[in-house]
């Protein structure tokens, strides 16, 4: 990749929003979920016809407050609305931050899958991580039998929240450890100035995704182009703690997205194979991406794969689905990145209509019980063998285990080593 002049993107800021989808410049709206009073008004209707009705209380109030921001609640609302689209029901938000879902006809398996997905979303919180009691995260009630138990639980929550509010001392305006408020524009400008002094062409990396179907010679499918975030963190120095300041980190990622798009326009002839790029949903919804799409060389119409993180997709699923249709028409392939193997059986990838799914290697895959292995193999087969990519393969066994489960696409330094193609 040629040296480039850092600090410029070459992209217009006045272009239209892509494919008629709303701009991501504005913050996502707060979840429009009915509140506690609406729930207690609705309960008598459930009591009159409880057959087949089940209720779930997701105890989100017990999560660390860094996991209870508006963006998290928006993702929860989007995920649960997907469930309600299959099983008639309603969502309600309690004053303490818990969310109640009441559905008719929802199966035990669907309940387990829904709970597993939400725990996956918050898997770095002690309440939701593996080994924690499921009942602490979600309480389920068969309303045909345990309607009164639900009412008692809701009354207890309401009473506890009332006491908490009454006893709450005046607020002390101190930031919690590891949390940040709104983005400081001055700090953001300082960060970009620091990054602009770095030769970003030295930070670019490529890593190949290999087709390693058993019985066939390995074949390079495409390359992923990305920036080394660790090297960037080191290069900007100790003045910017990107590990703790989440807002500043996200700002840098979106700035790098724009820089990357400019680089692709300029240097696309340097890439011999189709190329995948990890990109934020907000960038895909931005005028800068529309400009990139307009200027994209005709010989690269079908050679770009856009990778979106699973958590980013859930932040605005309707926008992603609408955008994805437009991207498909324009010749882009789409990849869902950052999927943990435990979540794979619970996600309807046909609903997302993506071309590839990246599943992160985990050493736990070496010791799966028979039931979990069968479930995982079925999910891989359902998604399609040529669409699942086992990524971050850092040990030799990863390829063998992946092939045994029906996976034929692999990425990681161990895969590069096996195919004698070092990272660039």
pLDDT tens, position by position, 282-299: 999 998 898 888 888 777
Neighbouring residues of 273: CB distance < 8 A, sequence distance ≥ 6:
208, 220, 221, 222, 223, 303
State the chain's mean pLDDT as an integer: 80
CATH fold of 183-418: TIM Barrel (3.20.20)
- Residue 365 contacts residue 401 (beta carbons within 8 Å): yes
Instruction: Quote the pLDDT of residue 104.
Output: 92
Q: What is the spatial order of strands in the sheet that 53-58 belongs to?
A: 89-93, 99-104, 53-58, 138-142
142 within 8 A of 54, measured Cβ to Cβ:
yes
Distance between first and last Cα of the chain: 10
The β-bridge partners of 388 are 357
> Tokens 């869902």 map to which residue?
336
Contact present, 383 and 359 (Cβ < 8 Å): no
> Domains of the chain: which residue ranges?
36-167, 183-418
Please list the residues that pair with 360 across neighbouring strands.
340, 391
Please report the pLDDT score of residue 74 as a whole number.
Answer: 79
Indicate the burial class of 261 (C-beta count within 10 angstroms; 0-12, 13-18, 19 or more).
buried
Element (H, E) at 275: strand 275-278
> Is 81:33 a contact under the CB 8 Å cutoff?
no
Residue 166: the pLDDT is 65
Q: Torsion angle, CA of 119/121/125/127, rounded to 10 degrees?
A: -20
| The predicted structure's pLDDT at residue 181 | 53
Could you give the residue ranges of the DSSP H alpha helices within 95-203?
Answer: 108-121, 134-137, 143-167, 185-196
Contact 409, 210 (CB under 8 A): yes
**Rounded CA separation 289/417 (Å):** 35
User: How many of the other CB atoms lie within 10 Å of CB of 173?
Assistant: 4
Does 183-418 match 36-167 at the fold level?
A: no
Which pLDDT value is given to residue 52? 92
The pLDDT of residue 130: 61
Query: Which tens digits make up the pLDDT trace of 111-147?
Result: 888 888 888 777 767 777 665 566 678 899 999 999 9
How high is the pLDDT of residue 6? 33
Give the Cα separation of 259 and 4 in Å (integer).
Answer: 10
| Contact call for residues 312 and 333 (beta carbons, < 8 A) | no
Residue recorded with tokens 């305006």: 173
pLDDT at 182: 66
Does domain 36-167 sit in CATH 3.30.70?
yes
> If you ran DSSP here, which 8-state letter would residue 386 be given?
T
Q: How far is CA 272 from CA 200, 262, 416, 423, in A?
A: 21, 18, 17, 15
- Number of C-beta neighbours around residue 184 at 10 A: 15
Q: List, for the chain, all residue ranges whose pLDDT scores fall below the cut of 70.
A: 1-32, 124, 129-135, 165-182, 420-424
Q: How many CB atoms lie within 10 A of CB 410?
A: 27
């Amino acid at each position: 990749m040629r040296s480039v002049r850092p600090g410029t993107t070459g992209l217009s800021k006045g272009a239209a929003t892509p494919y008629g989808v709303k701009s991501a410049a504005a913050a996502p709206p707060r979840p429009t979920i009915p509140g506690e009073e609406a729930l207690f008004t609705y309960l008598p209707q459930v009591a009159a016809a409880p057959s087949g009705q089940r209720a779930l209380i997701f105890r989100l109030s017990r999560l660390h407050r860094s996991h209870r921001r508006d963006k998290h609640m928006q993702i929860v609302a989007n995920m649960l609305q997907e469930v309600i689209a299959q099983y008639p029901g309603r969502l309600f938000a309690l004053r303490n931050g818990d969310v109640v879902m009441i559905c008719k006809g929802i199966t035990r398996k669907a309940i387990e899958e829904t709970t597993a997905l939400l725990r996956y979303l918050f898997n770095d919180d002690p309440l939701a991580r593996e080994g924690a009691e499921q009942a602490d995260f979600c309480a389920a009630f068969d309303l045909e039998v345990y309607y009164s138990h639900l009412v008692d639980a809701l009354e207890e929550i309401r009473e506890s929240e009332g006491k908490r509010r009454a006893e709450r001392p005046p607020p002390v305006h101190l930031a919690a450890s590891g949390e940040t408020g709104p983005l400081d524009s001055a700090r953001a400008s300082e960060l970009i100035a620091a990054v602009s002094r770095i030769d970003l062409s030295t930070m670019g990396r490529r890593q190949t995704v290999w087709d390693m179907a058993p019985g066939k010679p390995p074949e390079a499918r495409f390359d992923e182009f990305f920036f080394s975030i660790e090297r960037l963190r080191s290069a900007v120095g100790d003045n910017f703690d990107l590990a703790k300041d989440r807002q500043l980190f996200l700002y840098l990622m979106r700035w790098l997205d724009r820089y990357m798009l400019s680089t692709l326009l300029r240097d696309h002839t340097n890439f011999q194979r189709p190329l995948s790029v990890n990109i934020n949903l907000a960038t895909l919804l931005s005028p800068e991406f529309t400009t990139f799409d307009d200027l994209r060389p005709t010989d690269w119409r079908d050679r770009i794969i856009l990778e979106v993180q699973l958590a980013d997709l859930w932040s605005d699923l309707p926008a992603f689905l609408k955008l994805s249709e437009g991207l498909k028409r324009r010749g882009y392939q789409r990849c869902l990145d950052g999927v943990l193997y435990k979540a794979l059986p619970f996600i309807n990838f046909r609903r997302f209509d993506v071309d590839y799914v990246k599943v992160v290697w985990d050493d736990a895959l070496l010791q799966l019980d028979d039931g979990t292995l069968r479930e995982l193999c079925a999910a891989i087969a359902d998604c399609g063998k040529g669409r699942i990519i086992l990524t971050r393969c850092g040990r030799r066994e990863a390829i063998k285990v992946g092939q045994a489960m029906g996976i034929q696409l692999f990425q990681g330094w161990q895969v590069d080593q096996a195919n004698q193609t070092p990272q660039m």
